[in-house]
A and B are shown apart, each in its own frame.
Chain A
Amino acid sequence: MLKVTRDEASARAGVPISIAGVTKRYATARGGEVQALSEIDLAIEAGEFVSIVGPSGCGKSTLLMLIAGLIPPTSGTIAVAGEPVRGAVSNVAVVFQRDVLLDWRTVLANVLLPVEIKKLDPVIHRQKARDLLRSVGLAEFEDKYPGELSGGMRQRVAICRALVQDPGLLLMDEPFGALDALTREQMNLDLQRMWLRDRNTVLFITHSIEEAVLLSDRVVVMSSRPGRIADVVANDLPRPRGAHTRSEPRFVEHVERIRRHFLALGVLSET
């Protein structure tokens, strides 16, 4: 029982991330090298919602993989919850653009995959998985296979699968990039609601400037080749945010500021 209460306590708080002087170079097939990230310094507080926007190839996804411990940095250090990252990090969950649900498992069994792999308490987490599915309107789909679900429903299942682990840190790599605009807006609101409830740390990668501003405490703007941090936009618009937020002057201001970076970088061109 003691273990359970400790799990419950950690579930309520996100963990901090510190990234110091991180550089990542890849070897290319032709024997050359590609500098994906150059000297990244970034500190993210516990429970903070930070978005990263940037052009394709700016190393956003690489940064996420580094934090998750899936690939090692060339130089520099990354610490999650004060612990240096070496290999997979236990209280981190990842959501990709592709939902990568396992077609051969029912919705509920998909959500329970991390519980099986991490050997967490099956009884408690089964109930938690059910609650999560209910909270995103999928209670009746528990026993369906992913093949029977729409794209938006599938991505909801993928998010439930991440959240069932009570992650202190949620890493999301363009999670709504493949969804239609309307579904995407709904997913933004759902994500905000879940984050306000759990307050885990979220690192959210997106191509959408407005999505980033709507959801985040801070938006990190990256430039490409090599990936560098061009700007960090702090955003203290009151929550819960929604459609009304988009018309607020400060929202528009933030969006404009980020867009100007993209214009300066040549990613956007008005001519």
Chain B
Amino acid sequence: MTAVTADSSAPSNPAIVWLARNGPVLAIVIVIFAAWEIAVRALSIPDYILPSPWVIAAKIATSWQLLLVNAFVTLQEILLGFALSVVIAIPLAIAVVYSRIFERVAFPFMVSLQTIPKVALAPILVMWLGYGILPKVMVAFLISFFPIVINAVIGMRSAEKEMIYLVQSMGASELTTFLKIRLPKALPSIFGGLKVGMGQAVVGATVGEFIAAEHGLGYLQLISQVRLDTPLLFAAVVVLSLLGVLLFHAVTLAERIALPWNRLTTEAVE
């Protein structure tokens, strides 16, 4: 067994290491934006059709307060909807794994519900819940709920039967089996569901704002569209994307902290 050590010939400067790893992606991004900028200028495309990256950046710089205030509203909707999903999905997954009735009735029901386009429910939710933050939270919740619950169920069922027999042979109670085997065994799958769910929550909150809102990035987009303020429309998309990426990485970070061992195995596969 040889020890795994850093390749001594590799550059040790972290900046160079980072550049070596991310350089190609960075180059592609730069090329795309440069081509975009040049095309818009060369063809004299008006801003209200397609603003150049430079114009969008300038818009973000001048309207940052407006963007930030609305981003904060959207962020609240996303996080509340996501939190609601987690709080309901995980106990429900436990019920499905442990209860025959939930397994036979509730789970197939939930799986078939998943085929309903949740976005289509948004107008109904607005009708019921009004123009405030609540309908957006509900759409974010509905849309992020299913990947979380389904992945949690799959994860909790993934323990090998020998693993269960092993702890049973030690006289473990069902609670001990759950806490020491099923739950930790399910965590990678649960985090997989959380990552998908977080992305979905962003979509849900934004779509909710499209239907009816007085604040939020989705609302800002609608307003910009009506005013033909295309640069602001793009600026909102940029901020929304950043928000999505940031939230996704927050889940990934939590996963790395919670499952240090999992990183080892996934990196070994990579």
Chain A interfacial positions (CB closer than 8 Å to B): 65, 68-70, 87-90, 92-94, 96, 98, 100, 102-105, 113-114, 116-118, 145, 147-148, 165
Contacts and interface: CB of A to CB of B under 8 A. Distances in A.
Given A92-B169, A117-B176, 14 more contacts: A68-B169, A87-B171, A90-B171, A94-B165, A98-B162, A102-B184, A102-B185, A103-B262, A113-B170, A117-B167, A118-B171, A147-B264, A147-B265, A165-B170
Interface in B42-74: none
17 contacts: A70-B168, A87-B171, A88-B168, A88-B169, A88-B171, A93-B169, A100-B162, A102-B163, A103-B262, A104-B185, A104-B262, A105-B261, A116-B180, A117-B170, A117-B172, A117-B176, A145-B261
Decide if the interface of chain B is mainly helix, strand, loop or mixed: helix
B264 A94 contact: no
B181 interface: yes
Interface of B: 160, 162-163, 165-172, 176, 180-181, 184-185, 187, 259-262, 264-265, 268
B128 to A, nearest CB: 43
B160 A70 contact: no
Contacts of B184: 102, 104
A68 B262 CA distance: 32
Q: Which 10 A-B pairs have the closest CB atoms?
A: A147-B265, A145-B261, A88-B171, A100-B163, A117-B170, A96-B162, A94-B169, A104-B184, A114-B170, A100-B162
Contacts of A87: 171
A147 B261 contact: yes
A87 B262 CA distance: 34
Contacts of A70: 165, 168-169
B264 A145 contact: yes
Nearest to A173: B162
Contacts of A98: 160, 162
Most buried by B among A68, A92, A117: A117
Nearest to B268: A147
Contacts of B180: 102, 113, 116-117
B146 to A, nearest CB: 26
A89 to B, nearest CB: 8
A148 B264 contact: yes
Most buried by A among B166, B176, B180: B166
Most buried by A among B170, B171, B264: B170
A38 B64 CA distance: 79
A113 B171 CA distance: 12
Most buried by B among A98, A100, A116, A148: A100
A165 B259 CA distance: 28
Given A104-B261, A147-B264, A147-B265, A88 B170 contact: yes
Most buried by A among B163, B169, B180, B264: B169
A78 B259 CA distance: 42
Contacts of A100: 160, 162-163, 166
B202 to A, nearest CB: 29
B259 to A, nearest CB: 7
